[in-house]
Structure 1
Amino acid sequence: MQPAEREESVPDGPRLFPSISTVGLSTFRPLWAVAGLAAVVLAGCGQPIAQTQAEFTVAPARLPVSGGELSFFWQAEGITEVTISSDPQLPGFPLTTRDRSFSVRVRGNPTTTARTYRFTLELGGVRKTQTLTVEPQASVSCPSSSRSAVRAALAAPEQFSPTGLGRFDRPYASGRLLVFSKSNSRLQKLGAVRLEGGWGLMRVPQGQEAAKARALVEQGLADYAQPEYLYEAAEAAVPPANRQYPAQNELFAQMRLEQAWKSLSAGCPRPVVAVADTGFFTDRPDLAPNLTPQPSWLDVVGSSLEAPQPRQGVAAPHGGNSHGTAVASVIAATTNDGSMLAGVSYNLAQVLPIKIFDAQGRTGTLQIAQALEYAAGQTQIGGQTFTNPTPAQVVNLSLAGQAYDPYLESVLARVTAQGLVVVASSGNGDSDSVSYPASSPYVIAVGATDDQGRRAVWGSGFGSNYGPELDFVAPGTAVPSYGGQEADVVGNAYGTSVSAAFVSATVALHLYQNQRQYGTFYAGGAGSQVLQAVRECLRSAAQFSTPSLELGYGLIDASKVVDPANAACN
């Protein structure tokens, strides 16, 4: 098994919410402040009822798209305490205070729709409401390609007809076999659960997997039999107004991401990157706006690989740290909104959360296959059909296995023909052999670099895998990312997991810019043309024209990927 990804905490500076400090009433009263007067009825014990005036001011009335400081002022004779609430609710609200003035920091708005907050002051039984608007990202005409014809199609995916036995000297799930037969009747006689393309799933006694597989093949009951292999996580405005962006900038500069962002504008349909991983903290305000709608999320396994309990609309991790959240944050952390980190896709892509690891951190052949099928549109798990209302265009697999997997290969061929682009980690074992599924010809294989752009080696036996199957490299050393539930806590991730995320996001930027070329995300049936077109584009923008064993084609210049003058990408 490869070593797990490591994450280290780094200082994260002051909290964004709540961020309350005393501001003198005379220090900030701009002309554009929103102010209101409220008549307040005061009644003291044994005293006659009197009326007084209260002033409530929120300034400024509008904030830029990147957010900023918002100041509150109130005055009311005889009143010592007020309650202020917000709708939608901001962290730290409702707030009860005696301070006559204070300020909070409001996050920016990564969407193309203006975001309005209503603040209500309550005192002495009187309510007074003021509003704040956070400006949206600019809406533009959607980019399109100048190309008059699409590329020639890839050859149709090969028909898989494996024979013999899979490897049983690699980690696998106990009590199950994946069998292939050219005859459906033979699968029925074996009592196998039918899968796609001549495959079936059989239950066998634990500890007898290899013997049963050999007997099936030798007796002519199956053409091929393999275990269900186990996989592990391969861990882990420009410049934008994100508080830890200076720490990210050196890494982002390796791929010239700032220059790429300057070429793109918000306002068009966003491509979807499915992240099949350990689970996700989906309610983080610094990630949630860039996730697909909740009905599209999927947990394919539940808590146990032995007894899967799939559920749609959920993708929560097991435990307090989430590899999936870290990977998703590299791709799609909300950007230019005052939060801690910027995402590589700069709010121009969405992440579809698909949880494939169980409570023990295990996933297998079937879980990965089901995630790929679901990302493409639909899968079956235990006799249930799950339809994806938000199909993906890219799948990120930040995981690695130790054996070639014919069943998974057949699924990769099928979803690639449907138009999915699959990106995977090369693995972290410091090996001269790229791990599977990254080594598949249907996958873009990504290794990791250090801060100097060299192949990353993090310690004895812990480095970026390499070899002739490697396509590209991307930053994978001390990459700031989110991992836990708590907002604003940042860790440093090491591994090819985050490297794959950089490339998945770069592919998404390419698809965002070339929506017409791909038929507005494959509606025109681009299908198997897509992978070839994406590979050609990325190679044209890469560091080397001839691949090397350690770095493949090297780092990708994202600015060339989105450059309209680059004919290979448009």
Structure 2
Amino acid sequence: MKKLLIAGLTAAFVGLGATTLAAPGNAAPDPSHVAGQILVKFRDQASADGVLRQHGLRQGAFVGTTGAQVIKVPAGRELRLIDALSRNRAVEYAEPDAVVTAVTDDTYFDRQYALRNDGRSFQNTLETFTVPAGTPDADVDAVEAWGLTTGRGIRVAILDTGVASDNPDISTQVVARANFSGTATGEDNYGHGTHVAGIVAAAHNSTGVAGVCPECDIVDVKVLNDSGSGSTSNIVKGIAWAASAKQGEGNARIINMSLGQRVSSRTLEEAVRNAWKAGVVIVAAAGNGGSQAKIYPGAYPDVIAVAATDNNDAKASFSSYGAKWVDVAAPGVSIYSTFPNHPFALQSNGRSEGYDIASGTSMASPVVAGVAALALSSHPNASNAGVRAIVESTADGTVAGTGSYWKYGRVNAYDAVRAP
């Protein structure tokens, strides 16, 4: 299997390193955080001006619904100012603004082993992929679930690099768009977000591929730039917008984040907590480090963290793992889905316009988001906690690795939608 590289990562798609803004002089930029800004939350907002002036700083914009602000600081002095501000009793916390990166009858349905695993072989542009006869039932039983529901009208927010406007297999599913990435347009010029969105909700339209939840609505929230990276503050803004039920905002019931950062952030955790309190089911990739090291937001308790499996129902070699923080697994190896129909950055890895494969927990996470959307569709009165419980309790716990690599098992859409 060939692996994609994203922002210097060694496994596909969910990355944890990226370039930052240049530091002054000869100082090397720290790749873990955005240069020139930090996140600060005050216990007493009335004291903010005075505290910041002591350090030659001014108040900045609030981030989502967290109460934290993005404070502009001299590049290269981020950590020193965080330390100084943290010593002030008026400051609840100060932290870096961390770099975040991107962790049917349809024509190509036979290439989608994650939805139906029945011994077929096919050729993609990069490899021949075979599902051996007699292989374990490694799919999520999506076809069986569609006999009960296809998720009509359930809104799933994709926080990512955008969703291409020129691939009709997924663009027709988009009902709202927002851009918090800092790029000039919301178009997906990287390719990752379009691939993720297609896994969730590519249409049943006799063309291309099918999503796990083919009648779900997609809320496109671009939080990563055209190089596949972003910042904690941009992710927080995207979460708040996606979870908001205000007119013209996301009003999503499910949020998928196929992205991650190595270090925890109190601002990001609070944004996730606020979305959970608003009734949103939150799903995120566990990361591709091949270790038990935690990735955020996946490791937060209000998030369903997703590891990746292959067509043999085995843990993908690249997938992060650990039953103490990873909740479920889903297919994430050689997943066939939508790509933009215009040039995009991931073509440098040999991907084709329109449709192609990709691997990573970035691909497994939207499978789970789609299953959660189907479960919500068949249990319309369920709370987000109820939907999460259904997804986790109906996962196939007989899959090898359950209890060690992940807590509950590999998800099963059919069992989820028919759960009591």
Does residue 1:175 correspond to 2:40, yes or no? no
Instruction: Work out whether residues 445 and 470 of structure 1, in 8 Å CA contact, stay in contact via their aligned partners in 2.
Output: yes
Residues 496, 299 of structure 1: alpha-carbon distance in 2 compared, 3 angstrom cutoff? same
Q: Match of 1:302, as an amino acid?
A: G
Residues 261, 204 of structure 1: alpha-carbon distance in 2 compared, 3 angstrom cutoff? same
Residues 260, 203 of structure 1: alpha-carbon distance in 2 compared, 3 angstrom cutoff? same
Map of 1:535 onto structure 2: 388
Q: Match of 1:414, as an amino acid?
A: N
Alignment map for 1:437-448 (pairs within 5 Å): 437-448=297-308
By how many angstroms is 1:169 displaced? 7.5
Alignment map for 1:60-459 (pairs within 5 Å): 171-189=32-50, 190=52, 191-193=58-60, 195=62, 196-220=65-89, 222-234=91-103, 240-249=104-113, 251-253=115-117, 254-264=139-149, 270-292=153-175, 296-303=176-183, 315-318=186-189, 321-335=190-204, 337-346=205-214, 348-377=215-244, 388-457=248-317
Residues 197, 429 of structure 1: alpha-carbon distance in 2 compared, 3 angstrom cutoff? closer
By how many angstroms is 1:472 displaced? 0.4
Q: Which has the higher contact order (CA 8 A, sep 6+)?
A: 2
Residues 251, 263 of structure 1: alpha-carbon distance in 2 compared, 3 angstrom cutoff? closer
The normalised TM-score by structure 2 is: 0.79
1:3 pairs with 10, 13, 16, which one?
10
CA–CA separation in structure 1 for the residues paired with 2:114 and 2:276: 34
Instruction: Work out whether residues 174 and 220 of structure 2, in 8 Å CA contact, stay in contact via their aligned partners in 1.
Output: yes
CA–CA separation in structure 1 for the residues paired with 2:323 and 2:285: 13
CA–CA separation in structure 2 for the residues paired with 1:540 and 1:442: 16
By how many angstroms is 1:178 displaced? 0.9
By how many angstroms is 1:505 displaced? 0.6
Structure 1 unaligned blocks of 5 or more:
7-167, 235-239, 304-308, 379-385, 519-529
CA–CA separation in structure 2 for the residues paired with 1:373 and 1:220: 27
By how many angstroms is 1:415 displaced? 1.2
By how many angstroms is 1:219 displaced? 4.6
- The residue matched to 1:225 in structure 2 has which SS? strand
Residues 497, 427 of structure 1: alpha-carbon distance in 2 compared, 3 angstrom cutoff? same
CA–CA separation in structure 1 for the residues paired with 2:299 and 2:330: 17
Task: Provide, for residues 357-384 of structure 1, a one-character-per-residue CA deviation record: whole Å limited to 9, x for no partner.
Answer: 1234321111111111111127xxxxxx
Instruction: Work out whether residues 231 and 363 of structure 1, in 8 Å CA contact, stay in contact via their aligned partners in 2.
Output: yes
Q: Match of 2:337, as an amino acid?
A: S
Task: Provide, for residues 377-427 of structure 1, a one-character-per-residue CA deviation record: whole Å limited to 9, x for no partner.
Answer: 27xxxxxxx963451101110001100111111111111101111100000
- The residue matched to 1:480 in structure 2 has which SS? strand
| TM-align CA RMSD | 2.5
- The residue matched to 1:287 in structure 2 has which SS? helix
Does residue 1:509 correspond to 2:387, yes or no? no
Instruction: Work out whether residues 281 and 384 of structure 2, in 8 Å CA contact, stay in contact via their aligned partners in 1.
Output: yes
- The residue matched to 1:442 in structure 2 has which SS? coil
1:477 pairs with 298, 309, 333, which one?
333
CA–CA separation in structure 2 for the residues paired with 1:275 and 1:259: 25
- The residue matched to 2:252 in structure 1 has which SS? coil
* Between structures 1 and 2, the one with greater strand share: 1
The normalised TM-score by structure 1 is: 0.59
CA–CA separation in structure 2 for the residues paired with 1:387 and 1:210: 39
1:561 pairs with 396, 400, 416, which one?
416
Task: Provide, for residues 227-282 of structure 1, a one-character-per-residue CA deviation record: whole Å limited to 9, x for no partner.
Answer: 10111111xxxxx211211121455442111111112268xx51110001012212
Stretch moving more, 193-202 or 208-217: 193-202
Instruction: Work out whether residues 184 and 198 of structure 1, in 8 Å CA contact, stay in contact via their aligned partners in 2.
Output: no
* Between structures 1 and 2, the one with greater helix share: 2
Residues 279, 249 of structure 1: alpha-carbon distance in 2 compared, 3 angstrom cutoff? same
By how many angstroms is 1:537 displaced? 0.7
Task: Provide, for residues 296-349 of structure 1, a one-character-per-residue CA deviation record: whole Å limited to 9, x for no partner.
Answer: 31111232xxxxx6xxxx62023xx410000011111111x2212111112x20
Larger Rg: 1
Alignment map for 1:10-89 (pairs within 5 Å): none
Instruction: Work out whether residues 161 and 191 of structure 2, in 8 Å CA contact, stay in contact via their aligned partners in 1.
Output: yes
Residues 192, 283 of structure 1: alpha-carbon distance in 2 compared, 3 angstrom cutoff? same
Instruction: Work out whether residues 114 and 335 of structure 2, in 8 Å CA contact, stay in contact via their aligned partners in 1.
Output: no
